[in-house]
Amino acid sequence: MKLAPLTLALVALLPLAARSGHADPAPVGERVAAAAGILRAKQSSPHPIPQNVIDAARGVAIVSLSRGGFIFGGQRGTGLVIARTRGALGPSWSAPIAFNMSGGSFGAQIGYEKVSYIFILNTDAALQSFLGDDGAWWAAGTALAGVQIYTQADGVYGGATVGGVTLRLDRDANRHAYGDAFNTRDIINGHTQRPQSAAKLYELLNGVPEE
């Protein structure tokens, strides 16, 4: 039985609408692998992020987001943020911190797509906006001070929408990775051991050519 485009859009939206406020938790290791894939794809594309932009960043956040809708829409995603650290051996990167992103929208919209975002965080305030326990809220279309955003989409989605997203730390994923007493300040200051699984991601951030 063939489904009409409208029906397909609504079917695609159902899982998002049911869980738009509660993204499924994903272990930090899975997010590291996803982030490395997103960054690899971007840096091997015709329009990579200039290495000097990454080198000058205070931090980098990478998000994988799904969104869809028909009139009413929803979006949810998972990501991680990594801070630039300054140690005795020179600049480096912190261990990754997991967060979730979710939101809703209303307007002339239809479809479903997966979007990957890379946020270049150029200030301490921009970095902190990804680390707030109370959840940062961004209005759709609002420019974020101190942030450069790179994106890639896979899917069909269109329309002018009104809405925003909420970003919160994924405390369960972070506890699983770093223990019950994990502290975001210790992590971004480079005082928490970096996971071995993130080695390839750090190489990509540092512009190390892949063999």
- Classified as helix, coil or strand, 12 is helix
13 or 199, higher pLDDT? 199
What pLDDT sits at residue 181? 82
Q: Is the pLDDT of residue 136 over 90?
A: no
Alpha-carbon distances, residue 32 vs 13, 20, 62, 133, 199 (angstroms): 27, 22, 9, 21, 9
Answer yes or no: is 210 within a domain. no
Domain count, the chain: 1
Q: Is residue 41 part of a domain?
A: yes
Question: Which pLDDT does position 77 carry in this prediction?
Answer: 83
Give me the pLDDT at residue 157, please.
Answer: 39
| Residue 200 pLDDT level (bands cut at 50, 70, 90) | very high
Among 12-26, 59-73, 86-100, 170-184, the range with the most confident prediction by mean pLDDT is: 170-184
pLDDT of residue 8: 33
Tens-digit pLDDT profile for residues 144-161: 678 888 887 654 434 444
Query: Which residue did the predictor score with more confidence, 163 or 3?
Result: 163
177 domain-assigned: yes
C-alpha–C-alpha distance, residues 187 and 192, integer Å: 5
The boundaries of the domain holding residue 172 are: 5-201
Question: Per-residue pLDDT for 4 more than 50?
Answer: no
pLDDT at 113 over 50: yes
Q: Give me the DSSP letters along 24-85.
A: PP--HHHHHHHHHHHHHHHHTSSSPPPHHHHHT-SEEEEEEEEEEEEEEEEEEEEEEEEEEE
Q: Mean pLDDT score of the chain, rounded to an integer? A: 74
Token pair of 61 as six digits = 């956040």
Most confident of 33-42, 74-83, 131-140, 177-186: 33-42
First to last CA, the chain: 47
**211 belongs to a structural domain:** no
Q: What is the pLDDT of residues 173-194, one digit of tens each?
A: 999 998 888 888 899 888 898 9
Residue 208, in any domain of the structure? no
Predicted confidence (pLDDT) per residue in 36-54, tens digit:
999 999 999 888 999 999 9
User: Would you state the pLDDT for residue 11?
Assistant: 34
Asked if the structure places residue 196 within a domain, the reply is yes
Residue with the two structure tokens 């002339």:
108
Does residue 26 register a pLDDT over 70? no
